[in-house]
Amino acid sequence: MPLRYAYFIDSGGCSVTTRAGDCLPVEIHTLGMKDFVGVPLVLGMHVSPHRCSVRMRGQALRIPSVQLIPLIKRDVEIEKLLLGYVQATLIHSAQLSACNARHSLHQRLARWLLVASDRFGSLEVPFTHSYIANALAVRRAGVTVALGNMVREGVIGCRRAGLVVMDPARLKTMSCDCQSIILAAHNRPCPVPPLRVAYSG
């Protein structure tokens, strides 16, 4: 898809997805506060093989791609910061590959909830069982059973439009170490352009 703008997310949440043949899209990144939409632009590309969709209403800063690319070439500090974000994205992707291959559904689910909660800046995670199953590329029935166990143990609670993390510390013990690696990789601020816009799903 052509990239006309880059976005620096202040609040809310987005989902970056990709396709595998004729199957449903699979989430490859959950984006929220301090995240950047437009990684291909940093690498000099004007198109993306992935789709970014808004999942939670919020605020973002926007800059046209035709302005961002010359800015990156002109300002060394902005280039360094954005390349640092690209590195964080690569670490995130690599860790997800390892996590999906080696860890159980319960561990991966706990990891996903912790990362989503951190990126959204909220203990509320407004997603359905179907959405989470799609994000993890597993059957909905498995996610429903795993979430039910977490609810019975008081780790999470159910809401009409999603879930809420009741005991983050306990959820962390249920997760694999991948969540800490992913969050550490993203613990880096990004520069922001001067144009503020609202976005909604």
We report the CATH number of the domain holding residue 90 as 2.60.120.10
- Identify whether residues 150 and 192 lie together within a single domain: no
- Look at residue 19 in the predicted model and tell me its pLDDT: 81
- Look at residue 170 in the predicted model and tell me its pLDDT: 96
- Identify whether residues 45 and 98 lie together within a single domain: yes
The domain total for the chain is: 2
**Token output for 168:** 């983050």
We report the CATH number of the domain holding residue 142 as 1.10.10.10
- Identify whether residues 189 and 90 lie together within a single domain: yes
- Identify whether residues 93 and 83 lie together within a single domain: yes
- Look at residue 199 in the predicted model and tell me its pLDDT: 46
- Identify whether residues 7 and 49 lie together within a single domain: yes
- Identify whether residues 68 and 30 lie together within a single domain: yes
Buried b (16+ CB within 10 A) or exposed e, 149-163: ebeeeebbeeeeebb
- Identify whether residues 200 and 116 lie together within a single domain: no
> In Å, what is the CA distance from 108 to each residue of 25, 70, 114, 166, 170?
18, 39, 10, 18, 15
Q: Coil, helix or strand for 15?
A: strand
- Identify whether residues 186 and 129 lie together within a single domain: no
Low-confidence ranges of the chain (pLDDT < 50): 191, 193-201
- Identify whether residues 98 and 143 lie together within a single domain: no
- Identify whether residues 132 and 170 lie together within a single domain: yes
Q: At what angle do helices 129-136 and 140-152 cross, to 10 degrees?
A: 120
75-134 confidence digits (pLDDT tens): 999 999 999 999 999 999 999 999 989 999 999 999 999 999 998 888 999 888 988 998
- Identify whether residues 162 and 193 lie together within a single domain: no
Q: Coil, helix or strand for 115?
A: helix
Instruction: For residue 145, give its domain range.
Output: 104-175
CB count within 10 Å of CB 98 equals 12
- Look at residue 188 in the predicted model and tell me its pLDDT: 59
Buried b (16+ CB within 10 A) or exposed e, 39-63: bbbbeeeeebeeebebbbebebbbb
Given a contact cutoff of 8 angstroms between Cβ atoms, the answer to whether 154 and 168 are in contact is: no
- Look at residue 176 in the predicted model and tell me its pLDDT: 94
- Identify whether residues 149 and 200 lie together within a single domain: no
